[in-house]
Amino acid sequence: MKVAVVGATGLVGSKMLQVLEERNFPVTKLFPVASERSVGKTIKFKGKRYKIISMEAAVGKKPDVAIFSAGGSVSKEWAPRFAEKGTVVIDNSSAWRMDPDKKLIVPEVNAQVLTKKDKIIANPNCSTIQMVVALKPLHDVYRIKRVVVSTYQSVTGTGVKAVNQLMNERKGKSVDRAYPYQIDLNLLPHIDVFTENGYTKEEMKMVNETKKIMGDDTIRVTATTVRVPVIGGHSESVNVEFEKDFDLETIRKILSAAPGIVLVDDPANLQYPMPLMAHDKDEVFVGRIRRDESQPNTLNLWVVSDNLRKGAATNAVQIAEYLLSQGILKLKSKKTPATV
């Protein structure tokens, strides 16, 4: 299996390499790809050093799968070129998510819609991924009418520059800002750019992507997304109105049995999900489960996940694993890993 990781030197790209190694994905040839200024440098994977190559060179290698995390403009330009060579592209940017001809996939929710014809597959927004993992098993039983979500998102979702801003502010050092304001001891109700309707692009991503992934345009979603001075994961307060009534014990049983979810819901013993708990883990943690007493058939949840893993890298690798399990991606040989 020839695998290209595009954007291999970034926060998400580095995490993709880590996840590929941890999950023992059958990489026989690895092609780490980054910008021209990084070409020739090396990265480490499974104890070996691999040279970073250019995008043009990677296309010529005809990898079986290319996992992208290099921004929307890069994906728009290069994903079709890889696809033309027969490579399956799993793209972590927003470039293809709402394209009606491209699938938007969270494996626990809708992997079954994938076919051999899908050469460019979109990885959803991090905050959407963790929410729909928690919502899908409940939707199957009770049918969701409306979702009100407020997010508390880690600075790692912005990138290295944002992490450096937070840590330098914490040390009292001068900073090169990723945000328009201080983030340490602060929070910003502003993720991505504002749109004409007063919502940010991040908020509208959650609205539109949820409907597409769940395959149900009747679900109404409204979102407020907030950046917080946290490293390790995104947290979400999710209020869900169902068509049918429910009891809380059944809700807990459904969530406990659902793939990819860890239930942490014991407030009497101060047990509830936190970013520190989710850091560097692949699961979605759900707790603070309680009935909304202000209206019928409505539930409150607290949902936490590592945004660099399940919110990006792990989800992308899980898509590749699913393709492999279904024979859409096929192993050609069992060679030992080769250094580029």
Domains, the chain, ordered by start: 2-124+313-325 (3.40.50.720), 127-307 (3.30.360.10)
Is residue 338 scored above 90 in pLDDT?
no
pTM of the model: 0.95
Is residue 162 scored above 70 in pLDDT?
yes
Is residue 222 scored above 90 in pLDDT?
yes
Q: How far apart are CA 133 and CA 140, in angstroms?
A: 12
pLDDT at 333: 58
Q: What is the mean pLDDT of the chain?
A: 96
Which residues lie across from 121 on neighbouring strands? 90, 103
As a whole number, mean pLDDT of residues 29-46 equals 94
**Under a CB-based contact definition with an 8 Å cutoff, are residues 67 and 15 in contact?**
no
CB half-sphere exposure, 138, CA atoms < 13 A: 35
* Length reported for the chain: 340
pLDDT at 175: 85
The token duo for 116 is 């051999």
Sign, Cα dihedral of 124, 125, 130, 132: negative
For the annotated catalytic residues, the residue numbers are 126, 234
Q: How far apart are CA 330 and CA 83, in angstroms?
A: 16
pLDDT at 112: 97
CA torsion 63→65→71→76, rounded to 10°? 80
The token duo for 213 is 């992934």
Q: How far apart are CA 89 and CA 58, in angstroms?
A: 12
Is residue 174 scored above 80 in pLDDT?
yes
